[in-house]
Homo-oligomer: A and B are copies of this chain.
């Protein structure tokens, strides 16, 4: 493995690879912590103000941006970073709440689509206020605009290294492709 870690006090004068004693590992740990706190905050605020979770909000968001405000289950899964069955259940909840409807895909009898209802659109609009506000407050405004660009590039690079498979182990629709605004 790496060189010396504080675990095995072996004094290894070796080269670059990561040591658990870090310095370099600091960014990694910060990344984990920032993510944990951030999503917890945003999720809590969304639940308190609009009775939806962060994953639910993201589902509504992607549906809202999709061409007909409708999306195939698999596509939705790719964007929400959940497994196939994960989205099935997420959509179940949204349907139960009246925010989404299920619809047969006209071109493929196997296919199901999730469609945003008017109520869902309303909820999305009001929740967006809270969410964007939070992202601004806790993420955007916390870092220098120049650094934001650095982060943007870095995250993409990391995604590519780690990615290529979704939660089910299937190749992913390269979730980096541009998201089209709704007409």
Contact = CB atoms under 8 A, between A and B. Distances in A.
Given A1-B128, A1-B129, A154-B151, A32 B140 contact: no
B125 A18 contact: no
B20 A128 contact: yes
B138 A30 contact: no
**How many protomers of this protein does the assembly include?**
2
Contacts of A136: 2, 17-18
A7 interface: yes
Interface in A16-38: 17-21, 24-28, 30-38
A124 B161 CA distance: 25
A70 to B, nearest CB: 15
Contacts of A28: 135, 139-140
B143 A157 contact: yes
A5 interface: yes
Nearest to A2: B132
A137 interface: yes
A132 B37 contact: no
A65 B25 CA distance: 14
18 contacts: A2-B132, A2-B136, A7-B65, A7-B124, A9-B183, A18-B140, A20-B128, A24-B140, A30-B151, A30-B155, A30-B159, A31-B139, A37-B163, A139-B161, A141-B161, A142-B161, A143-B157, A147-B150
Given A1-B133, A20-B128, A150-B151, 18 more contacts: A1-B129, A5-B125, A5-B132, A6-B65, A6-B181, A7-B65, A7-B124, A7-B182, A24-B140, A28-B135, A28-B139, A30-B151, A30-B156, A31-B35, A33-B163, A38-B162, A40-B167, A147-B150
